[in-house]
Amino acid sequence: MTWFYDPLRTYEDNYSHGPFGSWAEVAADAVTGSGGDVTDRGAPAHTFLGHPVHRPFGIPAGPLVNAAFCEAALAHAFDIAVYKTVRTGAHPTHPFPNCLAVTTDGPLDPDRLDTLVAGADLDAARSISNSFGVPSRDPDKWQPDMSRAVAAAGPGQVLVGSYQGTRTGGGEDAYVADHVRAATLCVEAGAPVLEMNLSCPNEGTGHLLCFDTELVTRIAGAVKDAVGDVPLVLKLAHFASQPALEEFLAATAPIVDGYAAINTVPARLVTPAGDQALPGWGREVAGVCGEAIGPAAVAMVRRLAQWRVDAAAQFAIVGVGGVMGLRDVAAHVAAGADAVMSATGAMIDPELGRRVAAASWPV
Ligand SMILES: Cc1cc2nc3c(=O)[nH]c(=O)nc-3n(C[C@H](O)[C@H](O)[C@H](O)COP(=O)(O)O)c2cc1C
């Protein structure tokens, strides 16, 4: 296993001892300020939400679980590093395992809930499950660590702070306030760009926050009032309904600075014998990411870009999903993405950032 996030180890093991594989050594170097060989790349030729970047390419929220992972990613020319989603309080991880190899017949149809066999050899995986439950340390712990990650971004690189709100039983006002607090904590930690995760199955996969336009509009407005000029990106799931997507964009585009799409595509995961693949209540259905969601992700980027033209709106589009190599980066850019990110593909190929850095852009 050469992955920098090792899915054969627990989340805690990864957090405490990672990154692994070829990133292990560089991460140690990076702490002393000498990490990586990405030091002389000339002047950054692109911008991402007002920040100069060498390449508008990086790793989305998830695999970079703390500063050590972010440092290694930046040292490996992933010029946009998203610190894994944090919360306003400590939150436990779903039981191990979290990432299983998922076998598909081809691209997933995001409008259908497929039943897929999970648990094959991870070394041969192209698509995986992602079932963590969005764990978080307390802000006392993650704030200094996020600050360390922010400081690791060199010239032409940027660190994005991802966060999400937690329902604490205090009703909608408390939920809005929790988002504002999470965003403010990230800004206090120095995050120059924010991403709000609206696509985590908080209350079941059918009720993702991004499908509640009214509530998201209220939350995004409150967050923007609190964080001022710090750019805010909304992380979306795939929208089945075009009218719902258009209504969502019309309401939120005047408030926010960009959209990242997509998060994982849900599927029912079973063992070869047909049993539930991931242990525990509420885990029959889990998010699938990697190669199988590429076409769904590119299609969603294309719809965002088309609406941006039709509405003469201005916002950044971050293409996420199924980016396994340079061809997939090109597909996202051709669909209208201003920046592209890879989670599963980067985990499998930790040198993907350097290969993108060595290629021209658009790829
Ligand atoms: C290990 C792992 C953990 C993830 N955790 C998060 C998360 O905390 N927040 C989030 O918004 N997305 C999370 N994601 C989703 C990714 O950001 C991305 O949207 C998804 O994996 C699709 O991209 P991919 O096909 O390149 O993997 C995670 C993905 C992976 C693989």
**Poorest-pLDDT segment among 26-30, 114-118, 303-307:** 26-30
Nearest CA owner, ligand 1 atom 10: 61
Residue 60 CB less than 6 A away from ligand 1: yes
Q: Which whole number is the average pLDDT over 309-314?
A: 98
The predicted pLDDT at position 30 comes to 57
DSSP assignments along 157-170, one per residue = -EEEEEE-----SS
How far does residue 342's CA lie from ligand 1's centre (Å)? Answer: 9
The kind and range of the H/E element at 234 are: strand 232-236
Look up residue 138 and give its two tokens: 């307390």
Look up residue 69 and give its two tokens: 């992972």
The predicted pLDDT at position 345 comes to 98
- The confidence band for 36, taking pLDDT boundaries of 50, 70 and 90, is very low
Cα–Cα dist 153/52, whole Å: 11
Indicate whether 344 pLDDT > 50: yes
Indicate whether 296 pLDDT > 80: yes
Alpha carbon separation from 191 to 16, 167, 183, 216 (Å, rounded): 22, 23, 9, 21
CB-based contacts of 30: which residues, under 8 Å, 6+ apart? 36, 71, 72, 74, 75, 152
Look up residue 276 and give its two tokens: 């539930």
The reported pTM is 0.97
Look up residue 192 and give its two tokens: 């120059």
Token pair 């998060």 is found at 263
Indicate whether 240 pLDDT > 50: yes
317 burial class (0-12, 13-18, 19+ CB within 10 angstroms)? Answer: buried
Indicate whether 168 pLDDT > 90: no
Q: Which whole number is the average pLDDT over 291-306?
A: 98
Are the CB atoms for 84 and 61 separated by under 8 Å?
yes
Look up residue 131 and give its two tokens: 């079932």
Cα–Cα dist 95/103, whole Å: 21
Q: Which whole number is the average pLDDT over 65-69?
A: 98
Nearest CA owner, ligand 1 atom 23: 321
The predicted pLDDT at position 29 comes to 58
- The confidence band for 207, taking pLDDT boundaries of 50, 70 and 90, is confident
Cα–Cα dist 321/345, whole Å: 9
Residue 343 CB less than 6 A away from ligand 1: yes
Residue 84 CB less than 6 A away from ligand 1: yes
Express each pLDDT in 124-136 by its tens digit: 999 999 999 999 9
Look up residue 351 and give its two tokens: 């040198």
The predicted pLDDT at position 206 comes to 60
Look up residue 115 and give its two tokens: 């039943």
- The confidence band for 169, taking pLDDT boundaries of 50, 70 and 90, is confident
